[in-house]
Amino acid sequence: MIKKYVTAALAVLLVFGASAAALPASEKNAGGVLTASAEDWPTPSWDIPKYQSGDYEYTLLDDGTAEIVKYTGSEKDVTIPSELDGFKVTSIKGALIYRSAFSSNPYIINVTIPDSVKCIGYRAFKESRILESIIIPNSVTSIGTDAFSECKSLESITIPDSVTSIEKFAFAYSGLKNIILTNGITKIEDGTFEGCAFKEIVIPNNVTSIGESAFNDCKNLESLVIPNNVTSIEGIAFYECTNLKNVTIPKSVKEIKERSFGYCFDYDNDTPGQVDGFTIYCYKGTAAEQYAIDNGFDYVLLDEEEPVSLTDTATGVKVEAEAGVVPEDAKLIVEPITSGEGYDKAAKALGEVKAFRLFEIHLENAQGEEIKPDGNVTVSIPIPEEFGADLAVYRINDDDTATKMEGSAKDGVFTYLSDSFSNYALAEAKQNEGENNSDTGSSNNTEANTDTNETKPGTTDSQGDTTTNPQTGAAATGAGVLLAAAIAIAAKKRNK
């Protein structure tokens, strides 16, 4: 938005033949009006303005928040600030091909990202070869292309539930030996974990597709779990996984592209070869069986499993699952919660609802151990007679928020889908306030950004690029007034 107004004003300056040298510093007078001197106008630049604050170089996004594009410090333990010059930091990434926030940094070992950040972007930490630890907060929703690629010392990382997108090659050829993925992710992109060092990987239940070369060259990989929701596996997804001797492929997989499994390069014959002793476990008539036949792999047909239906007789809560999602000997455990800490927590998370019923729902195996479903299950909760028609089911989260589940009411029960178990509340909204009670478990509130209008001199970084701090200014007369007006409008819009 700032660029829009400044561009318009610069166009007028060109018409009038005005020249510029350096943007003057600005300040607010007692009445809050922007004022400036008429000296030192800037040379027009079509590059995105960059600002310096301590060890950080940043740009301003359209929403008035800051995006870190370069770190110039030399600390080994870095806690990234949540604000720079009063601007909330929401993104970390490179602005240009050669300029990336922490990429190729020879100093950083431990990094903590603040909970203001939503995006870890393109090449943010690429080739930071001694980076060992990074804490990603629940505010982050996306991890960009090459964000952690070739971070050779990064052996373990936890991806929070908030992350819904991990882009191509994000962790390619990093030192990852252990990674915990969450169910917010629905697709493994091309090359995401190419060349990683882990021995086992569990694909999250919500993933529906595995991209090309996603796990290519993971030579240490020995164990792989593919959930029942995956429908497609692209070419060379697990190429050069020479220690992966067998894989179980669910019936949900409808497409397996060329050399996805069981192949490695035969250097003796300079041609693609097959992994010795590779075996596929699959079901009759599936894409996996056909892939095994077409490629000449050994395969074992698995027994067909039956769908599972479990009902808690005391509460009437029912769980249904497709074959293979829940063990046939699983037991459904439902505990109504009517008071205590859990009930108070739910009441706080739900806010102003007319009424709610709270249940702790989970599954146990034959040994009494709590288990998770291998995919989505259908849960049905009976609707109390005194409840009205405006109903919803919410999962009560550990951070005192409530996530609304996809579902509907019919024939006296409310039915929804879930791939995990927790405390769930069937809630009735207050009359005429139903739309105000949809809590998705995350806040969309936008914090106001503070423009301090401090004047700071420009600085020169180690690469010789000149950076400036956010400034606004106005000339006393002529075409300069137009530029000043545009900048003032932009500044006011940024401060709203």
Report helix angle 2-16 to 480-495, nearest 10. Answer: 180
**Chain-centroid distance, C-alpha 70:** 21
- CB within 8 Å of 304: residues ≥ 6 apart: 283, 284, 323
Whether the pTM exceeds 0.85: the reply is no
The predicted structure's pLDDT at residue 492: 41
Does the pLDDT of residue 22 top 90, yes or no?
A: no
Q: How many CB atoms lie within 10 A of CB 249?
A: 25
Whether pLDDT at 294 is above 90: yes
Q: How many angstroms separate the CA atoms of 88 and 397, rounded?
A: 26
CA atoms within 13 A on the CB side of 365: 9
The conformational region for residue 30 under phi > 0 = left, psi -120 to 50 = alpha, else beta, is alpha
Give the residue from 251, 174, 255, 257 showing the smallest Cα distance to 218. 174
CA distance 396 to 424: 6
DSSP β-ladder status, 83-84 and 87-92:
antiparallel
Between CA 19 and CA 38 the distance in angstroms is 12
Provide the token pair at 373. 């479903």
Does the structural domain 65-301 have CATH classification 1.10.10.10?
A: no
Average pLDDT, the chain: 81
**For the CA atoms of the chain, what is the radius of gyration?**
28
DSSP string, 399-463: TS-EEEPPEEEETTEEEEEESS--EEEEEEEPTT-GGGG--BSS----PPPP--------EE-TT
Q: What mean pLDDT comes out for the span 364-376?
A: 90
- Written as one string, the DSSP assignment of 39-71 is --PPPP--SPP-EEETTEEEEE-TTS-EEEEEE
What is the rounded CA–CA span in Å between residue 300 and residue 317?
A: 37
- Are residues 96 and 70 in contact, defined by beta-carbon separation less than 8 angstroms? no
3-state secondary structure of 12: helix
Strand locations in 226-287 (E) = 232-233, 246-248, 255-256, 263-266, 271-274, 279-282
Q: Which residues contact 313 (CB under 8 A, 6 or more apart)?
A: none
pLDDT of 203 > 70? The answer is: yes
pLDDT band at 92 (very low <50, low <70, confident <90, very high): very high
pLDDT at residue 171 tops 80: yes
pLDDT reported for residue 182: 83
Q: What is the pLDDT of residue 183?
A: 82
* CB-based contact 278:256 (threshold 8 Å): no
Q: What is the pLDDT of residue 47?
A: 64
Per residue in 221-260, pLDDT (tens digit) is 999 999 989 999 999 999 999 999 999 999 999 999 999 9
Structure confidence at residue 99 (pLDDT): 53
Question: Is the model's pLDDT at 473 over the cut of 60?
Answer: no
> In CATH, which of 1.10.287, 2.60.220, 2.60.520, 3.30.1050 is domain 308-431?
2.60.220
Give the separation between CA 50 and CA 95, rounded to whole angstroms.
9
Average pLDDT over residues 190-209: 95
In angstroms, the CA 416 to CA 407 distance is: 4
Distance CA(173)–CA(195), nearest Å, equals 4
Cα–Cα nearest to 251, from 226, 234, 278, 223: 226
Q: Which residues of 205-218 are buried (b: 16+ CB within 10 A; e: fewer)?
A: bbbebbbbbbbbbb
SS3 at position 148: coil
Helix, strand, coil content of the chain in percent (nearest 5):
10, 30, 60
User: Identity (one letter) of the amino acid at 408?
Assistant: S
pLDDT, tens digit, 9 for 90 and up, residues 440-469: 333 333 333 333 333 333 444 433 344 444
Tokens of 7: 């561009």
Range scoring the smallest mean pLDDT among 179-188, 295-304, 331-340, 487-496:
487-496
For 161, residues 6+ apart whose C-beta sits below 8 A from its C-beta are 138, 182, 183, 184
Assess contact for 363 and 330: CB atoms under 8 A. Answer: yes
Find out whether 129 and 152 touch, Cβ atoms under 8 Å: yes
SS3 371: strand
Element (H, E) at 188: strand 187-188
Residue range 306-362, pLDDT digits in tens: 889 999 999 999 999 988 888 888 999 999 999 999 999 999 999 989 999 999 999
Q: Where are the domains of the chain?
A: 65-301, 308-431
Q: How many Cα atoms are found within 13 Å in the side-chain-facing hemisphere of 37?
A: 8
DSSP state of 16: H
